Structure 1
Amino acid sequence: MQNYLEFDFKISPLQPWSDILMAELIEIGFDSFTEEIHGILGYIQKDLFKEEELKALPLLQNEEVKIEYTFTEMPNINWNEEWEKNFEPINIDDKVLIRAEFHESVEGMHEIIIQPKMSFGTGHHPTTHLMIQQMMDIDFSGKKVLDMGCGTSVLAIYAKQIGAGETKAIDIDEWSVENSKENAVRNNVELDIELGTADNLGHENFDIILANINRNILISDIPTYVTVLNDGGKLLLSGLCFFDVDDILEVCRENNLELKKKLQREEWVSLLLEKKLNYRL
């Protein structure tokens, strides 16, 4: 078991900055959070923490918000067990339920069953919620799908459950790859799961690409996504705060992607884009 550091971030004003801070902390290795009245508690494995990365976060330099923090080293306990104790099912529009095996089934709802561990991607984060909301209105029947930055592979599993054909899931984190394999078995779906980044994609082509990551990676990787996205194919993005949208859409326009639908939940946004026909880089 890994030793964790617990950071107590005091944030003033709290909104919209707490969600934005969490997004930036995820990029430097923080993997779970608890919301508090005064701010958030953030957790990171001790051996992954680099103080210079924390001090360099853009939000800590922003004069519109005041952020102070302290940290302590946590005892070496079973964090997965602690996480499981506090895991609650996620209900998306009374249509999709993300739950653990120990939760009761709900009649009439589409269910995704995952092993709850500390991870970005269990469904509790607003961006995962937004991605599934968008996916409800897309025809996945027989489509070849890519889930980039798959985390627990909730999105890839849901795609397969609603009719997707061959589906690939890629993540840079070894734990995510292993957990994705476990969750695919739990949901009786077949996924092609790989450790890696957009560099893995090569010349393979997809009808639908799901990318719930973060602004910087998306800006860097959108051109690569376009090269492997079929004409008329759909690119569904999230991991974005509302103030990221203009920068993302500029990159999308440069790569001949057309915005079809935008959803927002709290400070977070998802974008559904379509690759224009007969476009080649």
Structure 2
Amino acid sequence: MSNTIYIGYEFKVSPLQPAVEILIAELGYAGFESFVENQDGVTAYIQKGEWHQDILKHIQILNSEEFEITYKFNEIEQTNWNAEWEKNFKPIMVDNQVTVRAPFHDEPQTKYDLIIEPKMSFGTGHHETTHMMIQHILKNDFTDKSVLDMGCGTGVLAILAEKVGAKSVDAIDIDNWCYINSLENVDRNNCTRISVYEGDVTLLYERTYDIIIANINRNILLSDISAYAGCLNENGLLFLSGFYQDDILTIEAECNKYTLNLKDKIQRNDWVALTFNI
């Protein structure tokens, strides 16, 4: 990766929250691979080969009247990604039960200790969607369940699923970097019941699960809900996140087509995470 040329966007944001969190999520879906938060906003990086002139066209928050966001961008070569995120990655705690931290942070006193080295992958627990998915996992019984973490990113949710008792976990991501990063984090957390795969929903053929976790984005979820429903065992649970409060009716309508019924909702700022059962 050392010779890869990146485009770096420096965003100045006011007020910072929740705008920075929303901006990072939307940029991640657009193809940006790494983010460094600072006191003025966030710097986001994307490989030059993935960049195009209209890369920000569908970043909705840039058109929001609630926030003032300005930016500039330039080419960057040979960025030391580890040094960048180590300067900014702070541990987080969820419901006083789960800590998500980097290897260089002190060991916490919480029940579940997740050691994540995110590099360029999405999913450290800092974003609302990952935070809420962790909350859903804590609220439900994973004992001896078969689990799918679709769009696994860093593998953080798959790792937690094993730690709360899942008998087997498949972690899948279409991005090669996420696949490699998940393998590293699974090993780092001494997990033995997680299988990591690189690919998309086509890998689900003839697989079944008791619980499916999908923290992706609205359009991919709408496309893949039918596949998830076909893979769920009787009385199975489907956790969905990566979309806004305004998207709930659309997501719920698609789920209802496949006898998936809304069971629970968690909301943080404008983001939501839903649980459906079949």
Instruction: Render the CA deviation track for 1:240-274: whole Å, top value 9, x for unaligned.
Output: 12222221111112221111110111221110110
1:117 shift after superposition: 1.5
1:60 shift after superposition: 7.4
Correspondence 1:153-168 to 2 at 5 A: 153-168=155-170
Q: Is the 8 A contact 1:83 1:118 kept in 2?
A: no
Letter aligned with residue 121 of structure 1: G
Instruction: Render the CA deviation track for 1:193-225: whole Å, top value 9, x for unaligned.
Output: 110001110011100000011111111111110
What stretches of structure 2 of length at least 5 have no aligned partner? none
Letter aligned with residue 236 of structure 1: F
1:227 shift after superposition: 0.5
Number of matched residues? 274
Q: Mean Cα displacement is larger for which, 62-71 or 143-152?
A: 62-71
1:257 paired with 2:260, answer: yes
| TM-score, normalised via structure 2 length | 0.89
Q: Mean Cα displacement is larger for which, 31-40 or 83-92?
A: 31-40
Q: Is the 8 A contact 1:147 1:155 kept in 2?
A: yes
Instruction: Render the CA deviation track for 1:94-117: whole Å, top value 9, x for unaligned.
Output: 111111222111234311112241
1:45 shift after superposition: 1.9
Distance 1:40 1:88, change over 3 A: closer
Q: Any idea what SS the aligned residue of 2:227 has?
A: helix
1:120 paired with 2:107, answer: no
Equivalent in the alignment of 1:59:
60
Equivalent in the alignment of 1:206:
209
Equivalent in the alignment of 1:279:
none
Correspondence 1:20-31 to 2 at 5 A: 20-31=22-33
Q: Is the 8 A contact 1:80 1:118 kept in 2?
A: no
Correspondence 1:198-277 to 2 at 5 A: 198-275=201-278
1:71 paired with 2:73, answer: yes
Distance 1:90 1:61, change over 3 A: closer
| TM-score, normalised via structure 1 length | 0.88
Q: Any idea what SS the aligned residue of 2:96 has?
A: coil
Equivalent in the alignment of 2:184:
182
Equivalent in the alignment of 2:35:
33
Letter aligned with residue 223 of structure 2: S
Q: C-alpha separation between the residues in 1 aligned to 2:85 and 2:62?
A: 32
Distance 1:141 1:244, change over 3 A: same
Q: C-alpha separation between the residues in 1 aligned to 2:276 and 2:90?
A: 32
Q: Any idea what SS the aligned residue of 1:52 has?
A: coil
Q: What RMSD in Å do the two structures reach over aligned CA positions?
A: 2.3
Match of 2:11 among 3, 9, 12: 9
Q: Mean Cα displacement is larger for which, 9-18 or 128-137?
A: 9-18
Q: Is the 8 A contact 2:262 2:275 kept in 1?
A: yes
Q: C-alpha separation between the residues in 2 aligned to 1:62 and 1:249?
A: 27
Q: C-alpha separation between the residues in 1 aligned to 2:103 and 2:128?
A: 22
1:8 shift after superposition: 2.8
Q: C-alpha separation between the residues in 1 aligned to 2:49 and 2:196?
A: 26
Distance 1:127 1:247, change over 3 A: same
Distance 1:9 1:114, change over 3 A: closer
1:37 shift after superposition: 6.4
Q: Any idea what SS the aligned residue of 2:114 has?
A: strand
Q: Is the 8 A contact 2:21 2:128 kept in 1?
A: no
Q: Is the 8 A contact 2:120 2:177 kept in 1?
A: no
